[in-house]
Amino acid sequence: MPYIQPEGAPERSNRLGHVRTAMDPSVQRALESYFLPPAVSGPPPIADLLIEAVTLHVSGLPEPAYAISIDGSKQEVEVRPDFPSARVGFAQVAGVFSQLDALVPAPRGGFVDPVAIAQAAHAALVKGVVPTSVVTVRPGQTMYEAWREGVWDLFTTCELEGPAGIRTSLVNVLAHVLGTPTVPVSSVTLERCPGRHDRDCQVGGLEIPISGAKCPECGTTLYFTDATNTHDEVEEFGSNDNALGRLMSVLELLTFLWQIRIFSQIDPGRVFPRCAFLLDGPLAMFGRPAGLKRHALRFLQAIHAQEIAAGRVGLPVVIGIEKTGVLAEHAEHIRDYIPPGYLLCLPDRYIREQIQHREGNRAYGYDTDYGRRFVYRARDGRTLVFSMPPMPSGDPTDDAATVNLAHYPSLDTALGLLDRVGTMLYRNAVIPVAFAHNFASLPLGTGSQVLTYLAQDALGATRTQVRPTPFF
C-alpha cells in the first residue's frame, strides 16, 4: 500500500523493485509447479449445445411492450480523512420503466429519436446511507452494532410504491420475500447471534419478530433485517466498501422481486404478460447474503404458479444480464463460433470442463444462483450472457449434463426481446439496462464531492476535498 504524496499522487515504486522477486529461485520453482489449462485451439466443443432461436418452443407470451430494469450503485465517502478515517456509505437502486415501442429505430439502421427515448423511460429510486467506519448511529457502539442499526433504519424508512399509490417499506418487502408473494413471514430465525462479533455470544436459533428482540444471553439488540446477513461482511476497522456492495445487492434483489409482484397485480392478464424484467447482473446472490437466493427463486416460482392457476401463460420474461466475469469473458472468446440467432446452453459439465477446469460434483452457482446462465449471439452480432429462473419448479443447478429447456418456457420471448433492444452506445449492451445504469449511478468526481459535503455538513465536520483514488 503506497503512501500518498502531499499533492495527492501515490508514492512511486522503485523501478528495479521487481528484480529480487523475478530472480528468486523459489519463485521460479513455484511458477513451474503450477498447472495452467492448455490454450483452446480450434472450435470449442459446443456443437451439441447450440440451438437456433427460431426452433425454440413457443411460449405463448405476447411480445413485450414494457421493460422494467433494475440496477444499483454505491459509494463510500470520507467524512473525516484524518486517522482513523471516518466514512459513510451511500447506496441507491433504480427501477426504470420503459415503453419498448418508443425504442424501435427508424428503418434501414436509423436512430431512435432521443426525445422519444426521454419520454419512454420513467425511474424510481431506492436510496439511503449507512455508517461504514468510525461513524456510528449512537455513541459507544461498535461498528457491527452501528451497521446493523443503520441497515434497520434504512429498511424501515425506504418504501417502494405499488398500485394505487400504496407504499411498502423494505422491511415488509423482505418479509414477503422470506415468505410468499401474498403472505409475509412474521418472524425470522437467526442461526447465530450477531453479538458473536463483539460480545463473543454463541447462542443460536434466535427467533426475531419484525419489531425486533434482544438476545437473552448477551443483550444484543436483534433486528429483523439481520436475516440479510450483511453485517457478517463488516470490518471493525477500515473501509467497509465490500459490506456496502453486499447491501446494495440485497436492495437490488428486493426491488427487482417487488417490481415483479407489483406488475403481477396490475390488470392481471393484460399488462403483466407484456412486461419484461431485467436485472443488471446475473440472477445470483453472493457473499453472506447468498442464502436469499433460495427465497428469490421460490418467490418467482410462486408468482408463476399464480399465473398458471389463473389460466394464464405463467411468469413473463425475467432475466439477468451479465456483463463481466468468467462466463462473459468465455462468451467473448468463443463468440465467432456462435452463429447470430443461436443460443448456447451451459450445462454444468461444460462450465466445469471448459471454463473452471476442475473435477467434482459441486455445480457452478450451487450456493449463489437462482437463474441458469445462457449465451446468446443476437442477430446484430452482440454476445450476451443472461440468466433465467427455472419454472415451474426445480433449481438452476439441476441440469448437470444437459439443459432441460422445458424448465425455461419463456426463452423464445426473451431472445426476441434481446434482439429488439440492442444499442450501439456500448459493447454487447441492451437499452433498458443502459437506462437503469444512467438513473442508478453515483458519479465519481463531482458526485463524490457532493455526497462528501452532504455527510460532513450533517455530521458537523469540516468540509474537505475528496482525495483522489490511488492507482495500485
Task: Indicate which CATH number applies to the domain containing 353.
Answer: 3.30.420
d(CA 434, CA 71): 9
Mean pLDDT of 9-25: 79
CB count within 10 Å of CB 42 equals 6
Number of H helices, E strands in the chain: 12, 17
- Give domain status of residue 370, yes or no: yes
CB contact at 8 A, 343 and 379: no
* 282-319 CB burial, b ≥16 within 10 A, e <16: bbbbbbbbbebbebbbbbbbbbbbbbeeeebbbbbbbb
- Give domain status of residue 94, yes or no: yes
Q: Tell me, what's the pLDDT at 125?
A: 80
Domain that holds residue 278: 47-131+253-459
Higher-pLDDT residue of 180 and 267 is 180
Banded model confidence at residue 399, pLDDT cuts 50, 70, 90:
confident
Q: Tell me, what's the pLDDT at 172?
A: 96
CB contact at 8 A, 90 and 458: no
d(CA 153, CA 130): 9
- Give domain status of residue 386, yes or no: yes
Banded model confidence at residue 59, pLDDT cuts 50, 70, 90:
very high
CB contact at 8 A, 133 and 85: yes
Q: Which amino acid belongs to residue 52?
A: E
- Give domain status of residue 142, yes or no: no
329-348, pLDDT tens digit by residue?
Answer: 999 999 999 999 999 999 99
- Give domain status of residue 23, yes or no: no
Q: Tell me, what's the pLDDT at 287?
A: 94
**Helix H segments across 122-220?**
143-157, 170-178
Helix 170-178 vs helix 143-157: angle between axes, to the nearest 10 degrees?
A: 90
d(CA 425, CA 431): 9
Banded model confidence at residue 469, pLDDT cuts 50, 70, 90:
very low
- Give domain status of residue 219, yes or no: no
d(CA 414, CA 375): 12
**Which residues, including other chains, have CB under 8 Å from residue 255's CB and lie 6 or more apart?**
70, 72, 93, 95, 126, 160
Specify the number of domains making up the chain: 1
173-231, pLDDT tens digit by residue?
Answer: 999 999 999 999 999 999 999 998 888 899 999 999 999 999 999 999 999 999 999 99
What is the 8-class DSSP label of residue 351?
I
Mean pLDDT of 243-270: 92
Q: Tell me, what's the pLDDT at 433?
A: 76
Q: Is the pLDDT of residue 424 over 60?
A: no
Residue 401, burial from CB neighbour count under 10 angstroms (0-12, 13-18, 19+):
exposed
With CA atoms as reference, report the closest residue to 407 among 378, 376, 370. 370
Q: Tell me, what's the pLDDT at 431?
A: 72
**Which residues, including other chains, have CB under 8 Å from residue 366's CB and lie 6 or more apart?**
397
Q: What percent of the chain has pLDDT over 70?
A: 85
pTM: 0.88
- Give domain status of residue 437, yes or no: yes
92-150, pLDDT tens digit by residue?
Answer: 998 888 888 766 554 445 555 555 555 556 777 888 999 999 999 999 899 999 999 99
- Give domain status of residue 141, yes or no: no
d(CA 376, CA 388): 12
d(CA 405, CA 16): 56
User: In Å, what is the CA distance from 362 to each residue of 133, 298, 461?
Assistant: 37, 21, 50
CB contact at 8 A, 142 and 199: no
